[in-house]
Amino acid sequence: MFATEAKEHLKILLADPEVPTVMLWGPPGVGKSSIVQQIAAEKDWGFLDLRLLLLNPIDLRGIPYPNRMTRQADWLTPSFLPHVRRDGTEGIILYDEITSAPRAVQAAAYQLILDRRVGEYTLPEGWRQVAAGNRAQDKGVVNQMPAALANRMIHFEVTSSVEDWKLWAIPKRIDHRVISFLNFRPELLYRLPSQAAEIKAFPSPRSWEFVHKILPSYGQADKAFPAICGAVGEGPATEFTAFCRMLDQIPDADEILDGKTKTVPDSPDMIYACIGALVSSLSNNKTEVRLGNFFAFVCKLMIEYQVLAINDAVKAGLRTDLVMLPEFRHWLAKNADVLVGAD
């Protein structure tokens, strides 16, 4: 399932603190950890990221100390586990990269994951448990999960697609150049090198977010090329910077939205770039006139580009504004069957 689907299922399941631990499987960089953090932030819950890879099997139990009254050993519980006074009454503990942990450490987590307790520590009642990890084919450090541990979890496999990624990226105001490029080259949203020895930088939802963060520091993509290479790899970086150079040839988005130009690009890459720039500009400054000019311009494009532009505008939170346009309502009645995400 895609990341947004996994997030919706998690929100339903995590409404009950007693739900079994959910395990998110998937390649690196598709947003497994991010969606868990997003849920915690949206619910105003505490959040703890526990990397079992960094622990020894005994660490979850804590440290013994002598009880002079009972003449027995008691245990000091680990501070890295959730504690109500510090972390709140409700929250999520994420066992991230659990499949990278040695099998002995995974086995040590059995009791905590199933019984919500380990040694003398009990997980607070309002805390939920989620795990995440890579699959064997993802060319990461992966240890096979013991069957006894796997059987203690609900398993989801997370993958990526540009349309699903844009449900997050457009509202987050990811640079329109990145969004436009991935509309044009959706297969470059995620591409793991075929040879493990070649793995350094490669494109993923996470590394394209890095590109978004890199661009403001340089201004122009050409100047940022070495850093972009370091994020997504040389091939995707070369294509992206060439795409950005082409942006100088498209009509100015504000001039289109202000009705000063009606020139329509004639090549697919320029159309994708123009749509991304229009949606970004309209999100920053939406008026009835600009919305009308946006829709009038979009209607000059082929139907597949019209659908793309309207879908992206909906993802940007502009659906209600568009519905106020009589011409859009007429368009919607004719094309509702091909419009994705209009609800």
Q: What is the per-residue pLDDT across 13-71, written as a single tens digit (0 to 9) for each? A: 999 988 999 999 998 889 999 999 999 999 999 999 999 888 888 888 888 888 888 88
Rounded CA separation 210/227 (Å) = 9
Whether the CB-CB separation of 181 and 142 falls below 8 Å is answered with no
Q: What does the pLDDT read at residue 341?
A: 47
For the ranges 16-30, 196-210, 287-301, which has the lowest average pLDDT? 196-210
All residues at 6 or more sequence positions from 246 whose CB lies less than 8 Å from its CB, including other chains: 269, 270, 273
How far is C-alpha 325 from the chain's CA centre?
A: 32
Residue in 228, 222, 219, 188 with CA at minimum distance from that of residue 205:
188
> Residue 300 pLDDT > 50, yes or no?
yes
Length of the chain: 343
User: What is the mean pLDDT of the segment spanning 250-257?
Assistant: 90
Q: What does the pLDDT read at residue 263?
A: 83
Whether the CB-CB separation of 180 and 243 falls below 8 Å is answered with yes
Rounded CA separation 243/180 (Å) = 9
One-letter identity of residue 323: V
> Residue 197 pLDDT > 80, yes or no?
no
Task: Kindly indicate the confidence band of residue 339, based on its pLDDT and cuts at 50, 70 and 90.
Answer: low
Quick one: tokens of 304? 């597949």
How far is C-alpha 292 from the chain's CA centre?
A: 32
Task: Kindly indicate the confidence band of residue 118, based on its pLDDT and cuts at 50, 70 and 90.
Answer: confident
Q: What does the pLDDT read at residue 196?
A: 57
Rounded CA separation 222/220 (Å) = 5
> With 0-12 CB in 10 A as exposed, 13-18 as middle and 19+ as buried, what is 20?
middle
Q: What does the pLDDT read at residue 342?
A: 45
Helix axes 303-315, 162-169, angle to 10 degrees: 40
Rounded CA separation 124/142 (Å) = 30
For the ranges 136-150, 166-180, 217-231, which has the lowest average pLDDT? 136-150
